[in-house]
Chain A
Amino acid sequence: MRPDLEIISELIAPESRVLDLGCGSGALLFHLQADKSVNGYGLEIDREHILECVAKGVNVIEQDLDEGLANFSDDSFDFVVMTETLQAVKRPDKAIDEMLRVGREAIVTFPNFGHLACRLQIALQGRMPVTGHLPNQWYDTPNTHMCTFRDFEQFCRDRGIPIRERFVVNNVYNNNWLINRLPNLFGTTAYYRIGRA
């Protein structure tokens, strides 16, 4: 299994109800269904991805995340998952609010703008960072709300959102003493499990 999905899967309790926002090919839900008896639903808009979900026997609903989650009632899910997308939605703060309304807990992952490579490019070249984990140019990037781990954690503190678990890795999904010591400098992606305020 893909190492990033392995990490998320670790954060999800067996037999729970899971909503995966932007579920892609359905790989995470397929794994959770098979190994953890999870009852999952994925939201997706890409036609090819929807076909892949159907082929895997994964529940998939065509729905645009920017139109919100108003059609789901409060407490519909145990976990609402959003992988690598928080930085690309119109209003990340409202997305988090909605995830924690529909689900009891949320799992979010996003790329770290505070990584050493980003800091060096801005500091030394005076240019917007283009790195292995952030490959787009400033003009074509979908990532309109970049933040650092520290920013996100401050956001959670300000709103009283408890961070239940955090797992930080580099761009080959490894996690070492250096990353654990200085995650905001050496980590490229973080996996957060957060709860309600």
Chain B
Amino acid sequence: MATTREAEYPQDSVGRVVPQRAVWDVPFVLKSGSRLPGYELVYETYGELNRSKSNAVLVCHALSGNHHAAGYHAGETRPGWWETAIGPGKTIDTNRFFVVSPNNIGGCHGSTGPNAINPETGKAWGAEFPQVTVEDWVASQAALADLLGIERFAAVIGGSLGGMQALYWAIEYPDRIGHAVAIASAPWLSAQNIAFNEIARHAIQTDPDYLDGGFLEAGKIPERGLMLARMLGHVTYLSGFGLGQRFGREIRRGDLSGRGSLEFEVESYLHYQGRNFAGKFDANSYVNITRVLDLFDLRAKHGGELAHAFKDATCHFLILAFSSDWRFSPERSKEIVDALVAANKGVVSAVIETEHGHDAFLLQEPAAYHRLFRAYMDRVALGCG
């Protein structure tokens, strides 16, 4: 049975993947000063690490992502979140690169996070899980690289919050990164973005089933809050034009007369996305990780000067933005690019025309996006020897 199913995986997919686990029994002091007694990272790898260990690429996930970036888990028909980009012959070509994709600390899909057991209490962390930051993530990813024997990543790549991790790698570990790829990202969170995050958190935290974060103990899920948070997120990740193109004013069911309850196609889509998400994502993780975004500011340790933040970076940068992305707009990418030029760093940047908004980074379209990204990855591969 299993072999039959495997033969059905698309040719350009890495096929069946099995998550792996790395465990550290030593305490991890977070940037906040809080201490994790130990931690675990669940991760996936695709492709083969070459003999000189020079072809490793780190893929960093965004707010709702996880370690499952490509291929298929046993018995599942949906591939990983970046199947469009990762695979044999694809943009991040697994015939050439060894791709490492961890789930970040504070997440809820296997790495140490709010839904994991706190060894000191024997109970799930819940809302007691300490606030993490991009800095903590990058430090834990570097520890994973050590464990895998990877001295230096040929590239660290991510979209949105993932791109912020790539930029942070460039600054924090200049000797351990050849290229930083930040797609639809920003050098710090705008007030507007913090505002959207707070609406999402408020929806979750005021859900009666949230129970001040203690819902796991009570065997409940704050489904309404999570749904609202996700529905709001989805609207902001797409453009108005894109939503119109996709759903228009089509009515799925019901009408004015009141027969059946009226539902537009776009509502149906949002309900589906929200409900699906509420069943898969831990509410405390969502609260914690939206705060990771809010707290992100590359300038913070560098006197408020972005160009100064990049001064020690030695890697080359690819900075991409999407024309209709209003959550992390092209202007935000431009801020990064201008600072890189002022700091004398190598950079390629472009704004890709698309109506797909922020979520375009996950998609197969537009073709111009993958053409440029791929051309850049060809350069990365040249440097792998």
A residues with a Cβ closer than 8 A to B are: 17, 39, 41, 47, 50-51, 53-55, 57, 59-62, 71-73, 76
In-complex Cβ contact of B334 among A47, A59, A60, A71 (8 A) = A71
Indicate the size class of the contact surface on chain B: 10 to 19
Minimum distance in angstroms from A190 CB to a CB of chain B: 29
Q: Which residues of B contact A47 (CB under 8 A)?
A: 350, 368, 372
In-complex Cβ contact of B342 among A55, A59, A61, A76 (8 A) = A76
A55:B344 contact, CB within 8 angstroms: no
**B341 contacts the other chain (CB 8 A):** yes
B residues with a Cβ closer than 8 A to A are: 334, 337-338, 341-342, 344, 346-351, 368, 371-372, 375-376, 378-379
- For the complex, give the distance between the alpha carbons of A91 and B344 in Å: 29
Which 9 pairs across A and B sit closest by C-beta, in order of nearness? A62-B350, A54-B375, A71-B338, A61-B349, A51-B375, A59-B346, A60-B348, A54-B376, A54-B348
24 CB < 8 A contacts A-B: A17-B344, A50-B350, A50-B372, A51-B371, A51-B372, A51-B375, A53-B348, A54-B348, A54-B372, A54-B379, A55-B375, A55-B379, A59-B347, A59-B348, A60-B348, A60-B349, A61-B341, A61-B348, A62-B349, A62-B350, A71-B334, A71-B338, A72-B338, A76-B342
Minimum distance in angstroms from A192 CB to a CB of chain B: 25
Minimum distance in angstroms from A29 CB to a CB of chain B: 11
Q: Which residues of A contact B344 (CB under 8 A)?
A: 17, 39
SS class of chain A's interface: helix, strand, loop or mixed? mixed
Q: Which residues of A contact B376 (CB under 8 A)?
A: 54
Q: Which residues of A contact B368 (CB under 8 A)?
A: 47
- For the complex, give the distance between the alpha carbons of A61 and B368 in Å: 15
Q: Which residues of A contact B342 (CB under 8 A)?
A: 73, 76
- For the complex, give the distance between the alpha carbons of A50 and B350 in Å: 8
Minimum distance in angstroms from B327 CB to a CB of chain A: 20
B378:A55 contact, CB within 8 angstroms: yes
- For the complex, give the distance between the alpha carbons of A55 and B376 in Å: 7
- Name the residue on B nearest A77 (C-beta): B341
- For the complex, give the distance between the alpha carbons of A61 and B371 in Å: 16
- For the complex, give the distance between the alpha carbons of A51 and B372 in Å: 6
Q: Which residues of B contact A39 (CB under 8 A)?
A: 344
